[in-house]
Amino acid sequence: MNKLLLYNCSQIVTPKGSHIKKGKEMDEIEVLQNASIYMEQGTIVFLGPNEEVLQRLGADSLAQIPGDIPVIDGAGRAALPGFVDSHTHFIFGGYREVEFMERLSGVSYLDIMRKGGGIQSTVNATRSYGEDQLAADGRNRLNDMLSQGVTTVEGKSGYGLDLECEQKQLRAMKRLNETHPIEIVSTYLGAHAVPLEYKDDPAGYVRYMADVVMPRIKEENLAEFCDVFCEEEAFDIEQSRSLLTKAKHMGFELKIHADEIYNLEGGALAAELGAASADHLLMISEQSIQALAESETVATVLPCTAFCLNKPFAPAKKMIESGCGIALATDFNPGSCFTNSIPLMLSLAVLKMGMTLPQAITALTINGACALKRGDKIGTLEAGKQGDVVLLDYPDYRFLIYHTAKNIVHTVIKNGQLVYKKEES
């Protein structure tokens, strides 16, 4: 039987429970000192102060632990739940460094898109890639995420747009999910942009997705979620409502790229449809904040995107004060946000968006898990949850922000197994 004892962590730091943490609840994290976690078959069996855990294992000291239980030494290290990056676009072909420089010289993201660049340029590149290449690049990106403590990641299609290339992206993710330690949750994002071949018939493209692509994706079980980029130059609120309603009837869970560049009340639409999350929300209105606060929909903020686009951050502090449940994710993609940096994201959330560190931890763990409908399995360190644990270089979780924008992840345990350990220099 697969067993593991994580012994003598200087701290175990975790939110508690399986549901979305809203408003003030986001500050409630438990900090246990000198504590251990015992896992079997990938699941946490019990955790608590060292002596209690030893006792439950029938031992008075570490030396008496049965030989068939491997031990990881947690001395001098704080332990947290594995991080959940609940919004990424990590499977793509090509890069857009030229466009990044154009943006620096003042051209807007939507203007680049209007000229046929932006998402369409990554679509062109992704269509020319084979599934093997997409998977190989994806694997390297996952390795980098793992080294930053990410144990569950969401990945979107949306750089193929036609059936064949969307399938190719999603199949690459499926393969990676079967072979890489990080769990990958897949999202169909055909409604990312209107492809060139439907340039003069956006309504036709919406019909094509609903009638042709989505049923196939569902049939082949290639995606659990369906997402829409609800934005000017992409899909308006009615197209988004109609597509997501159909997706819901087909059995997809829902997400929306909402109120990123213009406010279209995508946040309120997410609440209305019972979406798992509304994401971006830089331009969110009072009305959408209220709608999200009254719903079970996670409000996912993506500070690295605002940072890379040089835009104001989503009003996370205000949303929390209004009672929303916030998740933090990277939005890693080759256009608006070519960074998957968890440390940068945490620094921006706390130093620039006014979130407290406990709120940021909640946002990156249990609320991220809820944004992926996995709050009952991951996102906290508690008996019965999956054994997904991150150990830091330091004894105190506050180093996560104090050691600003620095990756201080030392060890990662996924499903009760050691999957990453920092190389000692």
Q: Which residues in this chain contact Fe ion in the complex, by CB under 5 A?
A: 331
Helix (H) or strand (E) holding 137: helix 131-146
Indicate the residue among 8 and 288 with the shorter CB distance to ligand NIG.
288
* Contact characters 207-246, ligand NIG, x per CB under 6 A: ----------------------x-----------------
Length of the chain: 425
DSSP for 8-24 reads EEEEEEE--SSS---GG
Q: How far is the CB of 311 from ligand NIG (least distance, A)?
A: 11
Q: Helix axis angle, 119-128 relative to 163-179, nearest 10°?
A: 70
Q: How far is the CB of 369 from Fe ion (least distance, A)?
A: 18
Q: How far is the CB of 248 from ligand NIG (least distance, A)?
A: 21
Q: Does 190 bind ligand NIG (CB under 6 A)?
A: no
Q: Which does 229 bind (CB under 5 to 8 A by kind): ligand NIG, Fe ion, none?
A: ligand NIG
Dihedral sign (CA 178, 145, 413, 301): negative
Instruction: Give the residue from 338, 340, 335, 371 showing the smallest Cα distance to 159.
Output: 335
Q: Does 305 bind ligand NIG (CB under 6 A)?
A: yes
Indicate the residue among 166 and 331 with the shorter CB distance to Fe ion.
331
Q: Which does 335 bind (CB under 5 to 8 A by kind): Fe ion, ligand NIG, none?
A: ligand NIG
Enter the tokens of residue 367. 């609320």
Indicate the residue among 29 and 172 with the shorter CB distance to ligand NIG.
172
Indicate the residue among 267 and 335 with the shorter CB distance to ligand NIG.
335
Q: Which of residues 239-298 bind ligand NIG (CB under 6 A)?
A: 257, 260
Q: Does 118 bind ligand NIG (CB under 6 A)?
A: yes
Q: How far is the CB of 88 from ligand NIG (least distance, A)?
A: 9
The residues pairing with 3 across neighbouring beta strands, listed in sequence order, are 40
Report the distance separating Cα 229 and Cα 240, nearest Å.
8
Query: For residues 268 and 291, is the Cβ–Cβ distance under 8 A?
Result: yes
Binding test (CB under 6 A) with ligand NIG, winner from 122, 300, 347, 380: 122
Task: Tally the C-alpha atoms within 13 A of residue 120's C-alpha that lie toward its C-beta.
Answer: 18
Q: Which does 349 bind (CB under 5 to 8 A by kind): ligand NIG, Fe ion, none?
A: none
Q: How far is the CB of 331 from ligand NIG (least distance, A)?
A: 5
Instruction: Give the residue from 147, 216, 140 showing the smallest Cα distance to 176.
Output: 140
Q: Which does 334 bind (CB under 5 to 8 A by kind): ligand NIG, Fe ion, none?
A: ligand NIG
Q: Which of residues 329-388 bind ligand NIG (CB under 6 A)?
A: 331, 333-337
What does each C-alpha distance from 120 to 96, 134, 205, 209, 261 come to in angstroms? 11, 17, 15, 17, 18
Burial 75-92 (b: 16+ CB within 10 A, else e): eebbbbbbbbbbbbbbbb
Binding site for ligand NIG (CB under 6 A): 89, 118-119, 122, 229, 257, 260, 305, 331, 333-337
